[in-house]
Amino acid sequence: MRRELVRYLAILLFSAASALAQTTAGPPPLEIRSGVTAQAMFAYTVTNVSGKDVKAFTVSIEAVDRRGQRLCSRSKTLIRGLGPGTAEVYKAGEVVHQDFRRIFAGVSDVGAWDGKLDYVLFADGSHWGPDNLKTSIEIAGMFHGRFAALDALKRMLSQQGPDAVITYLKGSGQ
């Protein structure tokens, strides 16, 4: 078990280091547009204008009150390809609609907000953005966790058979 943990940590560190070396320069690959109606004040759309498929991205959102005073900052990271039956990537040209009322729960008197793209991970492994929030590390960890879980289930299937996998999966949902 310890050996596997060290292996996965080494993979994670290698991935983080290689991601830093593959920075894509240029204009923002995603376009963020805010909601324009009172009902959609806490909504935005993100359009992939990069021409490349995207695996994940992080938006940094800052809210100000009606007098223009800073209230708070929040972030939202969207990832594709982690769960079964989900799309693997955000396709070039795809538009994603997001509602972020919940991330401002408990914050009153929001007059306006500004969303900025902080980090984008492309399907080819390259990335864009300053990554001020360091979400690249979290995203890499989520993907490595997914691959580790799938490897463990494949190993269980080959060593113990399908009944063991079914029993495990039924028990893990509790």
If you average pLDDT over residues 126-150, what whole number do you get? 91
Please compute the mean of the pLDDT values over residues 62-66 and round it to a whole number. Answer: 84
The overall average pLDDT reported for the chain is 79
Task: Round to whole Å and give the CA distance between 30 and 22.
Answer: 18
Interval 134-142 mean pLDDT: 93
Which of left, alpha, beta for 81 (phi over 0: left; psi -120 to 50: alpha)?
left
Confidence of residue 136 (pLDDT cuts 50, 70, 90): very high
pLDDT of residue 61: 85
**pLDDT score at 2:** 57
Gap between the Cα atoms of 59 and 119, Å rounded: 7
Close Cβ partners of 78 (under 8 Å, ≥ 6 residues apart):
46, 56, 57, 58, 90, 96, 98
Q: What is the CA radius of gyration of the chain?
A: 19
Distance CA 43, CA 33 (A): 9
Q: Lowest mean pLDDT: which of 45-49, 111-115, 121-125?
A: 111-115
What letter would DSSP give residue 170? H
Res. 88: pLDDT tops 50 = yes
The answer, as to whether pTM is greater than 0.85, is: no
pLDDT score for 45: 85
Q: Average pLDDT for residues 89-116, to the nearest whole number?
A: 80
Residue 14, pLDDT score = 46
By percentage, how much of the chain surpasses pLDDT 90?
A: 23
